[in-house]
Amino acid sequence: MFNKTATSYFLLLEFSEVRELQFLYFSIFLMLYLATVIGNLLIILSVALDHHLHTPMYFFLMNLALQDLGQVSIILPKSMINSLLNTRYISFTGCVAQVFCLLFFLTSDWCILTVMAYDRYVAICNPLHYEIIINIQSYTEIMAGVWIAGFLSAGMHTIGTFTTQFCSNVVNQFFCEIPQVIKVSCSGINPLEMSTIGVGIALSSGCFVYIIVTYVHIFTTVLRLPSAKGRQKAFSTCIPHLIVCSMFIFTSCVAHVKPASKSSSWLDLMFTVLYSLIPPMVNPVIYSMRNKEMKKAMSKVLSFRYIARNA
């Protein structure tokens, strides 16, 4: 019988007992991880090296890329190592750190998406006052608020999840996901975690409603533009942002609000991958590849022009 007082490690989801399939999962996750890392690193380097991109809008993109990079780096390397070494082990401390860091990046990510909606609103609906409203000082204050919100949310969730005893150490997910960790606790969701979840759902829903209302105003303004090219450019940059936000909030709510199944489910795995891994991979494409200035900066990074100039 599992000793509920001696939880020193957890056993994560084993995709398969067949070694060939384990190597297949390792290869898939490796390709996904490399694609995400390369895309987000390109954004970070492009914004950092090109002085033309040293504006609040591109700094928001760079912070989003940093958060996405951190998010996948918390999840995938450990899972890939386990598949490669044919193990399921993660230490108790490692599980706590994984939960805290993942929630920190997820919360910060959602806050940044909300801030970016506001940034687009000011740029399109109030362009003459954009530099007054969104300046370096306000950008610094906004980002400080984003990181603080992420830290507080992660801390409350982590404390609420792990200040309990566990009756099992088998987590039916490929990383330490809160619903699956809570499922193996002896007492289930404690009052602190229940309150934190309630506040998180309320704030996330409020952000989503704010994004929708903001884009209603944006689209109303865009439709009044006399230039068809201007309308097309605005729609091409705004609609993808709405798609990513909708996918993020929908999959997160389904994955965390729905009752955890008694055994591992491919549906659970699918929703978890959708909210935790897919957005960080597609964000560089959606927010940068359609931007001419970002494309130009990325091409310079890829051609090593900056290195050649300093050589």
Contact 77, 90 (CB under 8 A): no
What is the CATH topology of the domain spanning 9-310? Rhopdopsin 7-helix transmembrane proteins (1.20.1070)
Higher pLDDT, 256 or 168: 168
pLDDT, tens only, 47-68: 888 888 888 878 888 998 999 9
Predicted local confidence at residue 249, as pLDDT = 73
Rounded to the nearest angstrom, the gap between the alpha carbon of residue 67 and the centroid of all alpha carbons in its chain is 6
Nearest residue to 10 via CA among 256, 149, 151, 181: 181
Cα gap 84→76, rounded to integer Å: 12
pLDDT at 259 over 90: no
Q: pLDDT band for 144, please (50, 70, 90 cuts).
A: very high
Mean pLDDT, the chain, rounded, equals 82
Q: pLDDT band for 262, please (50, 70, 90 cuts).
A: low
pLDDT at 91 over 50: yes
Q: Look up the pTM and report it.
A: 0.86
SS3 at position 32: helix
Q: Which two tokens stand for residue 247?
A: 């996918």
pLDDT, tens only, 192-214: 777 877 887 788 888 888 988 99
Predicted local confidence at residue 293, as pLDDT = 78
pLDDT at 5 over 90: no
Predicted local confidence at residue 90, as pLDDT = 92
pLDDT at 151 over 90: yes
Rounded average pLDDT over 181-191: 81
